[in-house]
Structure 1
Amino acid sequence: MDRRATTQGRLASLLIAPALIILAIVIGYPVVNAIFMAFQHDSGLDPATGLFVAGGSAGFANFTHWLAQECVATGGGKVPCAPGNLGAQFWSAFGTTFFFAIVTVILETLFGFWMALIMARTFRGRSLLRAAVLVPWAIPTAVTAKLWFFIFSFQGIANKLFGLSILWTGSEVPARTAIIVADVWKTTPFMALLILAGLQIIPEEVYEAARVDGASAWQRFTQITLPLVKPALMVAILFRSLDALRMFDLPWIMTQGSNGTTTLSILVVQQIRQGFHSAAALSTITFVVIFLVAFIFVRFLGANAVDSATAATGGRKK
């Protein structure tokens, strides 16, 4: 048995080796190169001398001018940042990104759970309902953003339907509201389907036994459904949170990042026009932030797909 398992393990390694090599080339090399660029200066004119200066080692200067609100002049000198620029932009985008992530994930989890509970029931037309739920998720994000851009335009459906005269992209609160509505509409089906998968592995016999014991619907939900669906729920929240922290398409197409809607991803793209090395530092910071969020979810909140699969199989190893 051990020899057979060893042979199967070697065969599995050989089969997945090409995929791992491709991933290392497509993903690993750009990530390593971006980190290397983050520690280099951009070449250009030195403001102090007016002479062209080639890039070189910058140490942590590209990082500190984002985090500590310092500007890095060409050649390594530091000059004070104007108010609202660079470091201030980073912390503003940081707050905006986490605001969108927290609000959208909470709303999508609540609506997704509600939709999953409905789709888990047995009724005529259930298959049609599940297929219809996929429609917003199937639409490309760029198309969704443009659709809601027209809905929230001054002459759009939203204003006419509710009798309003709001320029939705003209100030911070309406612009953020429009982006949140669009994102929740598109991504709630994703959460619903992942939660539905967790609901379907709960044996019906457990609910029958609870009914026989006189448990109310609320008791069955809090004592059976929530604990048993928690692994799938936490994995769904993890995936959606990481996706929300990388949000770019919706705010960029709907508002161009104006009026308090600039996320970290948008800021990285904008910074690329100013200097690749500074943008590389910003993208590295963004990567570290998202990695820490993922680590917290997996380590402390139980969003571990491997452990969830083991729990679903009763702790048996295959």
Structure 2
Amino acid sequence: MGSETTVRRPHPARTAEPSGPGEPGRTARKRRSESMRLGTLLIAPTVLVLAVVVAFPTLDAIRMSLFGQPGLDPDTGFVSDTEPFVGLDNYATILTDAGARFWNAFANTVFFTITSVALEAVIGVCMALIMHQALRGRALVRASILIPWAIPTAIVALLWRWIFNADGIANALLPGRVLWTTEGIQAMVAVIVADVWKTAPFVGLLVLAGLQLIPRETHEAAKVDGAGAWRRFWSITLPLVKPALLVALLFRILDALRVFDMPYVLIGPRKSSVETLSMLAHDEASNVRFGSGAAYAVLLFLFVVLVAFAFVKLLGADVVGDAEPRPTRRARRKARAPRRAEGSEP
């Protein structure tokens, strides 16, 4: 008789399985939890610094805006050395009794922001395209373009105040004689020109960083397909540089809404044609009306937060790049279905 070889199959209970069906999921969750804890520890110092330099002053400004001026109490007739609690009276006074000045400063701030940021976007993109070209002396061109951005704002305002003086260069080059630093629309034009001259290189610098990330092969392929310069710019360059441009515009919008030093130094305080919300808050605080000054600052803070939120939501929450789209609930259910089917097989 031939020998028979019996092949013994291992018992299912004794099979050496590395892990159960749910073990990969638990491992992934554990790694994600450890990664989140590590990330929390790494950003804790930054959060602490922000709490000290941002959160505390903001909360203190909100608290201060609820108090009035020390002095004669109309209810008791006594003079008080402490600031009385007035609640929301400062906000009500700003929006009613002092509403004309507030809404004038609000309109000046919005007009300045829209006009200056729009001009800076166009000029900044043109600067970036020039700096991106492989020209002889490109380093010198880049340095000369970025010089205005490196000069402090107060120095720039003094420089342009000399240019826009009654006997300055502006009136020497332009026909007529314009009093740029007095009340009127010409004062706002002077502030916008000076601000665009200083900050347009900032937009150009960020857009230049986006241009350098575009592969050269993309433009070469478009040239082969017969696309002209304008077509390549509109269909290739602008969409690919959009994340960097949006970041630059967001920074400039937030900065322009808080503008103070440029119109204050160039034109002067208490000029209704250029007075902004920041200048208004400073003027109230300078006259020892800290409660109303804090109320102006809080309103400006809320306006800036609202504009930033609307900008991010309307133009895309991912302002630093095209993030991978998040899968929908139905897509996640379909992705889990094959794994459940595999786990149920014997």
User: Is contact 2:105-2:272 (8 Å) kept?
Assistant: no
1:220 equivalent in structure 2: 232
Q: Is 1:292 aligned with 2:306?
A: yes
* Structure 1 residue corresponding to 2:252, chosen from 234, 237, 240: 240
Which among 33, 37, 62 is matched to residue 64 of structure 2?
37
Cα contact 1:238–1:303 (8 A) shared by 2: no
1:315 corresponds to? none
Distance 1:97 1:21, change over 3 A: same
Instruction: Tell me, in whole angstroms, the C-alpha distance in 2 between the residues paired with 1:104 and 1:216.
Output: 30
Task: Pick from 145, 156, 170 the counterpart of residue 144 of structure 1.
Answer: 156
Distance 2:102 2:192 in 1: 21
In structure 2, the CA distance between the partners of 1:266 and 1:218, relative to structure 1 (3 Å rule), is same
Matching of residues 260-279 of structure 1 within 5 Å: 260-272=273-285, 273-279=287-293
Alpha-carbon distance in structure 2 between the residues aligned to 1:47 and 1:40: 15
Separation (CA, whole Å) in 1 of partners of 2:238 and 2:176: 40
Change (3 A) 1:116 1:304: same
- Alpha carbon RMSD of aligned pairs, Å? 2.1
Matched letter for residue 267 of structure 1: L
Q: 2:117 aligns to what?
A: 105
CA distance in 1, matches of 2:268, 2:102: 16
Aligned equivalents of 1:176, 1:228: Cα separation in 2: 34
2-structure distance, mates of 1:58, 1:12: 43
With over 3 angstroms needed to count, the CA separation of the structure-2 counterparts of 1:263 and 1:173, relative to structure 1, is same
For normalisation by structure 2, the TM-score amounts to 0.79
Q: Is 1:64 equivalent to 2:127 in the alignment? A: no
Q: CA deviation at 1:162?
A: 2.7
Q: How does 1:1-318 map to 2 (within 5 A)?
A: 9-46=36-73, 51-53=78-80, 54-67=82-95, 69-70=96-97, 86-257=98-269, 258-272=271-285, 273-302=287-316, 304-306=318-320, 308=321, 310=323
Identity of aligned residues (%): 49
| Separation of aligned partners in 2, 1:180 and 1:151 | 14
Which 10-residue stretch deviates more, 255-264 or 108-117? 255-264
116-125 or 16-25, which moves further after superposition?
Answer: 16-25
Q: Deviations over 1:78-115 (max 9, x none)?
A: xxxxxxxx211110000000111011001111111111
Amino acid at match of 1:262: E
Q: CA deviation at 1:194?
A: 1.0
Alignment partners' CA distance in 2, 1:29 and 1:158: 45
Query: Contact (CA 8 Å) 1:231, 1:302: kept in 2 or not?
Result: no
Length-normalised TM-score, structure 1: 0.86
Q: Which has the larger radius of gyration?
A: 2
Aligned partner of 1:314 in structure 2 is none
